Structure 1
Amino acid sequence: MTHHDEHDSHGERDAHGERQPRLRRRAQGELESQVLAALHTARGPVSAAWVQERIGGDLAYTTVMTILTRLLAKDVVTRERAGRSFAWTPASDEAGLAAFRMRKVLDGESDREAVLASFVTTLTPDDEQLLRDLLGHAGAEADD
């Protein structure tokens, strides 16, 4: 009889050698979005344990801390000392969270120009004008 590895591409084997479906591993971007969404439901600064509890599932505390630290490095969250640990808050409002998600999608694509071009062609005329106005305003501020 050949030895079967516990882990294979189809899942794990139980005590009887039957394949069990592998739990889907959440992607980093998905975890970041879940952590940010949890922070946005808070009424103020919260602990990593609070975030872990809100996300639920089997997510380890250390994983939540890793995600929060990565988000801090991206300036998406802020933290302040709270005793021996930290209290975390989102750095922006719901609009900022949506913009962060849009950037994550864009960053995951290989042809940014094609994605942006496709996005712009699907905008309503009002949204297209708003985007032009915002880009013009940002360009004027850069010239100052």
Structure 2
Amino acid sequence: MPTKTINKLGELERAVMDQVWALGESGEPSVSVRQVHEGLLRGRDLAYTTVMTVMGRLADAGLLVKERGSGRAYLYAAAGTREELTASSMLGQLQGLPSADRRAAMLHFLGDATAEEIADLKAALAEVEKRHGRSNGGRS
């Protein structure tokens, strides 16, 4: 599990992750600092070394995977999708809590949820129940 959670990222770290994910969605499984830097330059003035430092820190935190590219350059890939890392962050907050505390935390969260968020949650629960029903021989 990453040592830094996706919800604790600073603005620049989030922008770097967004750029890595965007490049990944366009078919680039691993990206260079230069590619991310060029993408970020569209909206701001950043030094290449700043982006390189941020990407190194994200790799150290477990949010990016770093591999040696050609020459001296490293290539980076997201350690998971945006959804996977968000779920990991949410689970990390609940892990280790006693059952009653976990339930209370979820009730507080759901108490502030919108009707749309509740509908999304119900749909997600139905999907999970459907998967579990298939994976254990049809038993729920």
TM exceeds 0.5? yes
Structure 1 residue runs of 4+, over 3 Å off?
97-100, 113-118
Paired position in structure 1 for 2:39: 54
Paired position in structure 1 for 2:5: none
1:120 is displaced (CA, Å) by 2.6
The yes-or-no answer on 1:39 pairing with 2:20 is yes
The structure with the largest strand share of the pair is 1
TM-score (norm 1): 0.54
The yes-or-no answer on 1:96 pairing with 2:100 is no
User: How many Å separate the matches in 2 of 1:118 and 1:59?
Assistant: 40
Aligned mate of 1:119, from 88, 95, 109: 109
- Structure 1: where are the runs of 5+ without partners? 1-27, 107-112, 138-144
- The one-letter amino acid of 2:10's match is G
Equivalenced residue count is 99
The structure with the largest helix share of the pair is 2
More off after superposition, 118-127 vs 72-81: 118-127
TM-score (norm 2): 0.55
User: How do 1:14-93 residues align onto structure 2 when only pairs under 5 Å count?
Assistant: 29-42=10-23, 43-56=28-41, 57-82=44-69, 83-93=71-81
Give the structure with higher Rg (CA).
1
Give the SS at the match of 2:29: coil
Change (3 A) 1:63 1:116: farther
1:76 is displaced (CA, Å) by 0.6
- The one-letter amino acid of 2:22's match is T
Give the SS at the match of 2:31: coil
Give the SS at the match of 1:124: helix
Paired position in structure 2 for 1:8: none
Change (3 A) 1:55 1:115: farther
CA root-mean-square deviation: 3.3
Q: Which of structures 1 and 2 has the larger relative contact order (alpha carbons within 8 angstroms, sep 6+)?
A: 2
Change (3 A) 1:62 1:99: farther
Contact (CA 8 Å) 1:76, 1:91: kept in 2 or not?
Answer: yes
1:58 is displaced (CA, Å) by 0.7
User: How many Å separate the matches in 1 of 2:105 and 2:58?
Assistant: 24
